[in-house]
């Protein structure tokens, strides 16, 4: 019996029915799930009960990557840019606050010095004849606290003297630091020029020491005694005469009236008495334990 191509014949034997393809005469069969390979596998095994396993190359298409959502990309860019702007803004604000704090500190310091309220202080300089100290009143910017007032007095006392008076400290002498105690003692730390550039002599050394002691004690009531330090250390003397190993109290013994007329003999006698007193003070001064 001849059949045309692409035609099918169904032979029924009870409930059984077998379908044949007349063109190729091959039975339709399905591969079980156990033998199936992943779709993206390059090599796969095709089982065949009649023949051995044959390796076939499957030309599977390359994997397709999902395109990222542009909205998420834009959101990430906005987040990074916002973070950078926030960090820069915080840095600028911090610098501005530090500058404002520094400016306020400078303003408070100026207010503490009382720049708008100058007061009269008494300073001491060497008389024109060189035989004593002379009081000199001067309007300076005064502070509101004892420490600030004392620092102001010292800085003016270390400065140049008005004509025709003479300065008691060597040029270049500066204040390094200042300490005040509750008992009323002031410790004045001066630079090394106070000793290295000192002219020497008992009178000059006495005028140097007591000009500073008197100026602090008179202008700052909280100070009772003054001890001079050099470069942060205690010294015995400035030039070998006045004992500086303990705080010194003020003394007006060496202050003279510049308007008083004195004879030459009286001037010489006062000079000798001053030298004698300074020598006795240097020897009799007690030492710190």
Q: According to the model, what pLDDT value does residue 208 have? A: 87
pLDDT tens-digit readout, 179-188: 999 999 999 9
Q: Are residues 22 and 138 in the same domain?
A: no
Same domain, 134 and 253: yes
User: Do 131 and 274 reside in the same domain of the chain?
Assistant: yes
Is 251 found in the same domain as 136?
yes
Q: Which residues pair with 177 in a beta bridge?
A: 189
**248 occurs within a structural domain:** yes
Is 1 part of any domain? no
Is 187 part of a structural domain of the chain?
A: yes
Last residue of a domain, one of 57, 74, 96: 57
Evaluate whether residue 5 is within a structural domain: no
Residues 131 and 249 in one domain: yes
15 is a domain residue: yes
* Same domain, yes or no: 35 and 144: no
Write down the pLDDT at residue 187.
94
Do 150 and 49 lie in one domain? The reply is no
Claim to verify: residue 123 and residue 16 sit in the same structural domain: no
> Is 109 a member of any domain?
no
Residues 125, 205 within the same domain: yes
| 133 and 51 both lie in a single domain | no
- Is position 101 within any domain? no
**pLDDT values of the chain reduced to their tens digit, one per residue, 289 residues:** 444 444 444 444 444 344 444 444 444 444 444 445 555 445 444 554 444 444 444 445 555 555 666 777 788 888 888 889 988 888 888 877 766 665 555 555 444 444 446 778 899 998 888 888 989 888 887 777 888 889 989 999 988 888 888 888 888 888 999 999 999 999 999 988 888 877 777 788 888 889 999 999 999 989 999 999 988 888 888 877 788 888 999 988 888 887 765 444 444 454 455 444 544 444 334 333 3
Question: Does one domain contain both 124 and 267?
Answer: yes
> What's the predicted TM-score (pTM) here?
0.51
pLDDT at 112: 46
Shared-domain flag, residues 260 and 136: yes
pLDDT tens track for 77-116? 888 888 899 888 888 888 777 666 655 555 554 444 444 4
pLDDT number for residue 76? 81
43 occurs within a structural domain: yes
Domain of 231 in residue numbering reads as 119-284
Euclidean distance between CA atoms 168 and 163, whole angstroms: 13
Contacts 24+ apart (CB under 8 A), 107-112: 111/144, 112/143, 112/144, 112/145, 112/148
Quote the number of domains for the chain.
2
């Amino acid at each position: 019996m001849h059949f045309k191509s692409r035609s099918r014949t169904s032979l029924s034997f009870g409930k059984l029915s077998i379908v044949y393809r007349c063109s190729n005469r091959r039975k339709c069969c399905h591969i079980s799930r156990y033998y199936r390979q992943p779709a993206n596998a390059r090599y796969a095994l095709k089982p065949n009960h009649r023949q051995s396993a044959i390796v076939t190359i499957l030309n599977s298409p390359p994997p397709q990557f999902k395109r990222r959502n542009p909205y998420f990309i834009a959101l990430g860019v906005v987040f990074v840019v916002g973070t950078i702007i926030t960090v820069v803004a915080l840095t600028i604000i911090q610098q501005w606050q530090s500058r404002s704090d520094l400016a306020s500190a400078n303003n408070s310091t100026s207010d503490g010095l009382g720049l708008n309220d100058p007061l009269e202080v008494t300073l001491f300089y060497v008389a024109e004849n060189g035989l004593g100290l002379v009081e000199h009143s001067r309007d300076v910017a005064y502070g509101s606290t004892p420490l600030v007032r004392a620092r102001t007095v010292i800085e003016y006392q270390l400065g140049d003297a008005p004509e025709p008076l003479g300065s008691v400290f060597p040029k270049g002498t500066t204040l390094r630091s200042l300490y005040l105690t509750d008992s009323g003692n002031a410790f004045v730390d001066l630079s090394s020029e106070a000793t290295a550039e000192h002219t020497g002599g008992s009178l000059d050394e006495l005028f140097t020491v007591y000009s500073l002691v008197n100026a602090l004690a008179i202008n700052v009531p909280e100070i009772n005694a003054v001890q001079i330090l050099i470069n942060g250390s205690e010294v015995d003397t400035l030039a070998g005469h006045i004992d500086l190993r303990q705080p010194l109290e003020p003394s007006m013994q060496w202050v003279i009236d510049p308007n008083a007329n004195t004879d030459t003999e009286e001037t010489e006698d006062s000079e000798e008495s001053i030298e004698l007193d300074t020598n006795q003070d240097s020897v009799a001064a007690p030492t710190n334990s």
